[in-house]
Chain A
């Protein structure tokens, strides 16, 4: 089985590659990168005008299976991932039952082997049933295929438990992904505390409710030496805390979502649009600016969608009762291409770092490289394709999106995993 990708702009900053090249893939492995290459038989794919990147990775998604398949399942969620240009994703453990033991991890791996369209890396819970009290069997879950641990959605409220989890996890070593939220400061808060919470009469949560939890975990990270990854940073105080931590050499990484990079609480104005209800909430203009600055100066390592699919009836209700989150797998890349790459805020090299290399490194899994002998996991981008974000044309089961109606330019046109097309010309391959 041979495949020739002809005339695309191939970019991989890890091996200093950026230019128009032909790429020959044989048996799933990159065999040659060069000019005027040809193959005696096999498939030739014209990539003129396209950008070929190492396969993108989303380290923070919710696939909802097992337990909430009415929202999303491994099949539909990974279809959405491929459509959005990802060759691999990690999925959070807040399923039902919770992925807090090896049999659930095992189930996810088996289900993914049968029905997934891309690579799936399960994340196990840190504490049993996400209750924040008793540690899970991390070793057992790691051998079943878990790659990291997180109590995403809740966060661990008890500092002693977090310390114990970090002490335990560092021996493997395994990364702990922290959903930073000090519940005693959050209360029933469902939007950022500030002008919008005041105006709309919605309970607010201050940005520092995230920072205080993050700062606690940073100190524990320093104490224990366990790898810590801070999920969905939203507040400028947290960016400052992370910057300081990195200066001190503490092994912490962090991610930011496209919605926190592109939206603020002001977008809620007076509409009570539950598509904009997030946890952590959309914050102020100042927070947003700090997130972009943190992303650019390396304080924030990667971009992850926090893909949070929900059924319509869970969003179409009173704001305070509506489910948190937005889908993101199908919009992340296009949002970044439109609002960052096309505007010259950063280039494709940074995009690869933030959406392919850094998330894999944060989880401790191998990065994808475009060089001779590497496994051909590739994302091919059509930078000129324009479309309007529409909830009816989606691969995800869910329709909730904070970006409905946005006009975007640039998308993944093709996705290859181990040399096989998982998406071809914008269509997910069956």
Chain B
């Protein structure tokens, strides 16, 4: 039996506080293992994990793949271009086909919100949402929480500014409610055109101006701007966006010395963050990537039947 309260991780809300605590604890021991020269554990030997990435994402897919290999699971990749869904097969059919091949865990990335649920409803195995539409990206959230905890010890009482296109961001979609429920103050910093209809539902306040609030922030979380879509997502130009919302040296001076600058990657230097600041010690972007592997190992390990002691055993 999995020690987690939910069979699947479709939304961050599937994990209660104890689950989150357990994942972060377990991830810490995996993070130590990831610093050893031999990083492989036999824990999930014989288990089959399918990476169903129906929307291209090298970073997340690679992170999951490394995580499963370090646990000795057999990881199979199904990329968007080669998958049968492009041949007109429905996601339900795909799910039933995969289910017939009896895998243990499926990770799905999909461009439409709610798609992981279709998979979960039509498969026997565990399902992890690897990012769906503009909805949520719960494993990103867990690795972000891990990164914040590693730096600050605790999340409670911290002020987190999430900057940019909240409306179209699945990263914000799961991070904001999670931070909120863990006792952080969440502030969305964006123009009204980049805000969802009801930001309060996600657990955040709204401030339009980054300059007005930057000095109050413990954590600045910069969202990636889909540069090719700038005009469609509600800013007149990348130049104007960057004038208003780019984390640059001038704004960094107002930011506390202990603050954390985060970004889910890949960064557009000069748009969300100025080039020099990308290499500032306060910037945790590479820590986030490193945490990503450990956190994903922890989730897979716990889902497929581990307990928190097994990780180091």
Binding site for B on A (CB under 8 A): 193-195, 197-204, 206, 270-272, 313, 316-321
Q: Give chain A residues whose Cβ lies under 8 Å from the Cβ of B91.
A: 317-318
In the assembled complex, the Cα of A313 lies from the Cα of B92 at a distance in Å of 9
Q: Tell whether B164 is near chain A: CB-to-CB under 8 Å.
A: no
Q: Give chain A residues whose Cβ lies under 8 Å from the Cβ of B170.
A: 201
In the assembled complex, the Cα of A195 lies from the Cα of B132 at a distance in Å of 18
Q: Tell whether B138 is near chain A: CB-to-CB under 8 Å.
A: no
In the assembled complex, the Cα of A193 lies from the Cα of B91 at a distance in Å of 26
Closest Cβ of chain B: how far from A297's Cβ, in Å?
29
Closest Cβ of chain B: how far from A201's Cβ, in Å?
3
> Given that A201-B132, A313-B90, A316-B90 are known contacts, is A272 also in contact with B117, CB under 8 Å in the complex?
yes
B11 touches A320 (CB 8 A): no
Residue of B nearest to A318 (CB): B112
In the assembled complex, the Cα of A320 lies from the Cα of B196 at a distance in Å of 17
In the assembled complex, the Cα of A197 lies from the Cα of B167 at a distance in Å of 10
> Given that A318-B112, A319-B112, A320-B112 are known contacts, is A201 also in contact with B133, CB under 8 Å in the complex?
yes
A195 touches B113 (CB 8 A): no
Q: Tell whether B292 is near chain A: CB-to-CB under 8 Å.
A: no
> Given that A318-B115, A320-B112 are known contacts, is A197 also in contact with B90, CB under 8 Å in the complex?
no
B198 touches A194 (CB 8 A): yes
Closest Cβ of chain A: how far from B181's Cβ, in Å?
14
Count B interface residues, CB 8 Å. Answer: 25
Closest Cβ of chain A: how far from B108's Cβ, in Å?
11
In the assembled complex, the Cα of A202 lies from the Cα of B112 at a distance in Å of 8
B92 touches A317 (CB 8 A): yes
Contact of B197 among A195, A313, A317, A318 (CB under 8 A): A195
Q: Give chain A residues whose Cβ lies under 8 Å from the Cβ of B135.
A: 200-202
B113 touches A319 (CB 8 A): yes
Q: Give chain B residues whose Cβ lies under 8 Å from the Cβ of A199.
A: 201-202
User: For chain B, what secondary structure do more than half of its interface residues adopt (helix, strand, loop), or is it mixed?
Assistant: mixed
Closest Cβ of chain A: how far from B140's Cβ, in Å?
14
Q: Tell whether B161 is near chain A: CB-to-CB under 8 Å.
A: no
Closest Cβ of chain B: how far from A267's Cβ, in Å?
15
B90 touches A202 (CB 8 A): no
User: For chain A, what secondary structure do more than half of its interface residues adopt (helix, strand, loop), or is it mixed?
Assistant: loop
B113 touches A200 (CB 8 A): yes
Closest Cβ of chain B: how far from A246's Cβ, in Å?
30
Q: Give chain B residues whose Cβ lies under 8 Å from the Cβ of A317.
A: 90-92, 118
Q: Which of B192-227 contact A (CB under 8 A)?
A: 196-199, 201-202
Q: Give chain A residues whose Cβ lies under 8 Å from the Cβ of B196.
A: 197-198, 204
B133 touches A195 (CB 8 A): no
Residue of B nearest to A193 (CB): B197
Kindly list the 8 A-B residue pairs having the minimum CB-CB distance in the complex, ordered from nearest: A201-B135, A272-B114, A318-B112, A201-B113, A198-B196, A198-B198, A201-B134, A198-B201
Closest Cβ of chain B: how far from A213's Cβ, in Å?
20
User: Besides A198-B199, A201-B132, 6 other CB < 8 A contacts?
Assistant: A198-B196, A202-B113, A203-B134, A270-B13, A318-B91, A318-B112
Q: Tell whether B306 is near chain A: CB-to-CB under 8 Å.
A: no
Q: Which of B122-136 contact A (CB under 8 A)?
A: 132-136
> Given that A194-B198, A198-B198, A199-B201 are known contacts, is A272 also in contact with B92, CB under 8 Å in the complex?
no
In the assembled complex, the Cα of A194 lies from the Cα of B198 at a distance in Å of 6
B202 touches A198 (CB 8 A): yes
A320 touches B197 (CB 8 A): no
Contact of B136 among A193, A201, A271 (CB under 8 A): A201
Closest Cβ of chain A: how far from B171's Cβ, in Å?
11
Q: Tell whether B264 is near chain A: CB-to-CB under 8 Å.
A: no
Contact of B173 among A201, A206, A318, A320 (CB under 8 A): A201
> Given that A201-B133, A270-B11 are known contacts, is A318 also in contact with B110, CB under 8 Å in the complex?
yes
**1/0 contact trace for B99-117 toward A, CB 8 Å?**
0000000000010111101
In the assembled complex, the Cα of A206 lies from the Cα of B198 at a distance in Å of 12
Among A195, A201, A317, A320, max chain B CB count under 10 A is at A201
Closest Cβ of chain B: how far from A108's Cβ, in Å?
31
5 A-B pairs, CB-CB below 8 angstroms?
A198-B197, A198-B202, A202-B113, A272-B117, A319-B112
Closest Cβ of chain B: how far from A106's Cβ, in Å?
35
In the assembled complex, the Cα of A46 lies from the Cα of B202 at a distance in Å of 60
Residue of A nearest to B166 (CB): A198
In the assembled complex, the Cα of A317 lies from the Cα of B91 at a distance in Å of 7
In the assembled complex, the Cα of A144 lies from the Cα of B230 at a distance in Å of 51
Q: Give chain A residues whose Cβ lies under 8 Å from the Cβ of B113.
A: 200-202, 272, 318-320
Q: Give chain A residues whose Cβ lies under 8 Å from the Cβ of B197.
A: 193-195, 197-198, 204, 206
